[in-house]
Each structure stands twice: as structure tokens, then as C-alpha cells.
């Protein structure tokens, strides 16, 4: 197993014992292709750090190249999510969410369940020095999910230009279009579906037919294509093709949203300011198996 020297030095500098007991194992597992039946697919195959932990496919693919029903959503800033599935509101924890990629059969995704004994044995041989400190009772798939959950909980990205604006930093650099875009966002009720610190808290019913979990707008420039089925390739097209009616949770009435081109451009400027790739300077976010 090849592990980045820079990554190991980073670990040596940390005195946070919680990190050694939880996210460290999950970090290795998240990027390990041996977690899959074919030995070629890792969690990072669909959640690439370069793209804010998405994969930029219209629909994600399983270990055998078959398309899945939806694309991969970002794994950054997950602590405020109420559920972790595009459509299934019963998936209320990361631990439960990982049942689908590991164990689903229709379609198969990573196929962990097809040869779980062999996979667990191989992983134990590689990571026993970490496993014994975390899963002292029994090494099983539940421990795998637990370790990865701890790791994902560490992934944060809140160092965008917008965050700096909130902290009154670099006040001389902000374009009028950026601040106009903030007003466009809030004046038109965008926060009803994309509210809160990470622009993913839903205050309105998106549809009277089914519910779609609003994705975070942080790093939205990096997470194309857009919508759960990847129907739109560009951010400007996503805004033009966005549902024009906003359904209020407390009313059967809807509000129609139509923006002139100038306000649309201001809104795009604001959304671009939500980009933060500074996390890529932290080895915790990168593949520890690559040198």
C-alpha cells in the first residue's frame, strides 16, 4: 500500500486522538477500490474531491458500467442535512445511506455484499492497526460504514468569497454584481429551497408530486451537471430551466419566478462566489493511496 509521505507527516503533526480513532480509517476506506466486488471502484469513484466530491456525470455508474438512477451529490458540509438521499426522506443518517452503494442489488453499485467475507478479510490485512482501535468487538460491514461516516463528517468547505464577504474581508474586491446577486437570491425566495448556512435547507415543498432534496449551492460551479438526473450541463442553463413556480409549504398556491437577463447575470456572479477549493490543500481530502 503506497501512502503519501506528505499525508503521513500531516498525521504525525496532529494530536487529535479522535482523528486516529475514527476519520483516519474511514479516509483509507473511502478511497480504497478493494471495497468493491470488482476491486476497481471506490467511494471516490463517484465522489471525486476535484469536483466537490461529485463525479460530473449526468448519471453515476456502478462497478459494471451500468447507469444509476441519479447522479452523485456533493459530500461536503453534510452535518446539516436532514436526510441523505435525493428522494428517500427515511434515510436519516450517513450510516444508513451507505447501505445502498454497498449492498444494493437492483442495481448493484459497489457489490460489497457479493463477496463481503473476502473483502473484509483483505481490508483487515491492510488496516488492522486502525481497525483494532475502532472496531474491537467484530470487524464487519457495520464497522466499515461507521468509519466512513466519521470521515465524511470531517469534510468541510466554507472558505469561499461569499464567506469572506460575510466576515468583511477584502471589502475592496467585491463587484456590484456580486452584491446585487445576493439581493436577487433572497428577494426571489431562492432560500425557500436553498436556505441556511450551506444553501441546502428546505423551507418549501419543491413539488406536489414528489420531494427532491435540495442540493447545496456551495461549489455549485464544480458540481455540474445539474438537477438529480443531470439534465442540464451549465449553470446558466440550470437557472433558465429551473422550475418557474415556487410552492410554499404552507399554501397550495405557487409564486411564479421570472428574472430579466441582468438579474440572472447578477445571480450567476453570486453563485460563482460560493466556490471554495481550498480544501484541496488538506491531505485529509485527498487519496492517501497515491504518492
CATH number at residue 88: 1.10.760.10
Q: Do both 43 and 133 map to the same domain? A: yes
Does 286 map to a domain? no
Domain count, the chain: 2
What is the mean predicted confidence (pLDDT) over 36-64?
89
Q: Do both 184 and 235 map to the same domain? A: yes
Q: Do both 212 and 186 map to the same domain? A: yes
User: Which three cell numbers mark 239?
Assistant: 437557472
Domain that holds residue 198: 161-275
Q: Do both 79 and 203 map to the same domain? A: no
Residue 291: predicted pLDDT: 56
- Tens digits of residue pLDDT in 167-223: 887 766 777 889 999 999 998 888 888 899 999 887 654 444 446 778 899 999 999
**Model-level pTM greater than 0.95?**
no
Q: Do both 20 and 48 map to the same domain? A: yes
Q: Do both 109 and 77 map to the same domain? A: yes
Return the SS3 of 27.
helix
Q: Do both 90 and 183 map to the same domain? A: no
Does 287 map to a domain? no
Q: Do both 221 and 184 map to the same domain? A: yes
pLDDT band of 265, cuts 50, 70, 90: very high
Helix (H) or strand (E) holding 254: strand 254-256
Does 43 map to a domain? yes
Amino acid at each position: 500500500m503506497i501512502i503519501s509521505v506528505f499525508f503521513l507527516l500531516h498525521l504525525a503533526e496532529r494530536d487529535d486522538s479522535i482523528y486516529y480513532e475514527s476519520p483516519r480509517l474511514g479516509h483509507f476506506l473511502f478511497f480504497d477500490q478493494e471495497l468493491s466486488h470488482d476491486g476497481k471502484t471506490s467511494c471516490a469513484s463517484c465522489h471525486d474531491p476535484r469536483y466537490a466530491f461529485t463525479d460530473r456525470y449526468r448519471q453515476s455508474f456502478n462497478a459494471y458500467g451500468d447507469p444509476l438512477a441519479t447522479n452523485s451529490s456533493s459530500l461536503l458540509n453534510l452535518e446539516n442535512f436532514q436526510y441523505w438521499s435525493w428522494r428517500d426522506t427515511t434515510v436519516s443518517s450517513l450510516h444508513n445511506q451507505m447501505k445502498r452503494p454497498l449492498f444494493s442489488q437492483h442495481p448493484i453499485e459497489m457489490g460489497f455484499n457479493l463477496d463481503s467475507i473476502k473483502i473484509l478479510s483483505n481490508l483487515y490485512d491492510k488496516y488492522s492497526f486502525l481497525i483494532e482501535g475502532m472496531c474491537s468487538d467484530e470487524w464487519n460491514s457495520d464497522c466499515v460504514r461507521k468509519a466512513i461516516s466519521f470521515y465524511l463528517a470531517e469534510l468541510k468547505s466554507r472558505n469561499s468569497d461569499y464567506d469572506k464577504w460575510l466576515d468583511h474581508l477584502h471589502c475592496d474586491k467585491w463587484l456590484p454584481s456580486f452584491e446585487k446577486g445576493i439581493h436577487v437570491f433572497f428577494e426571489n425566495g431562492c432560500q425557500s429551497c436553498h436556505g441556511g448556512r450551506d444553501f441546502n435547507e428546505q423551507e418549501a415543498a419543491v413539488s406536489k408530486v414528489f420531494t427532491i432534496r435540495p442540493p447545496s449551492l456551495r461549489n455549485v460551479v464544480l458540481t455540474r451537471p445539474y438537477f438529480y438526473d443531470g439534465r442540464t450541463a451549465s449553470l446558466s442553463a440550470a437557472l433558465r430551466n429551473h422550475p418557474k413556480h415556487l410552492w410554499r409549504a404552507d399554501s397550495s398556491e405557487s409564486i411564479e419566478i421570472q428574472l430579466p437577463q441582468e438579474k440572472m447575470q447578477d445571480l450567476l456572479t453570486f453563485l460563482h462566489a460560493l466556490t471554495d477549493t481550498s480544501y484541496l490543500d488538506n491531505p485529509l481530502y485527498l487519496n492517501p493511496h497515491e504518492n
